[in-house]
Amino acid sequence: MKKLIELAVLNHQIDLKRGESKYMDNEWLLNAIIDEVKEVKEEIRPNNVAHLEDELSDILWGWLTIVEKLKDRGYVTSHEAILQRALKKYEERILALKGDERDHTIWKEVKARQKEELEKERYENSI
């Protein structure tokens, strides 16, 4: 993952140098990821591993790319910070599950608590 992040950083520097506005536009970048998701959906079928993995890698690349642009603008701190948030978020959700009918309720409760924590963090960061 580290090498991919390094390539996304390099790609962003190249985009800045080249100055093509579409590569700096959040909307265009998100639409490109949506297009890649559509391509993944088309490739989900038996005996198609190479093509499916290739299209999934395009989604990952799109994510890495937009994070780098958002990082450069000060909207997010780093790829690693987002990955750390994802780890914390899903550890809390998944590790609480029991594998039975209570899971939907547990998921909703953990998610609600996490939303409260995010609001508290946003408030504390705005002071």
d(C-alpha 46, C-alpha 114), whole Å = 38
Please report, for the chain, the start and end positions of each structural domain, with discontinuous segments joined by +.
2-77
pLDDT number for residue 127: 84
pTM of the model: 0.88
Please list the ranges in the chain whose pLDDT falls under 50. none
**pLDDT, the chain, mean:** 96
pLDDT number for residue 15: 95
pLDDT number for residue 119: 95
pLDDT number for residue 27: 95
DSSP 3-state assignment of 127? coil
| Count of other CB atoms within 10 angstroms of residue 36 | 19
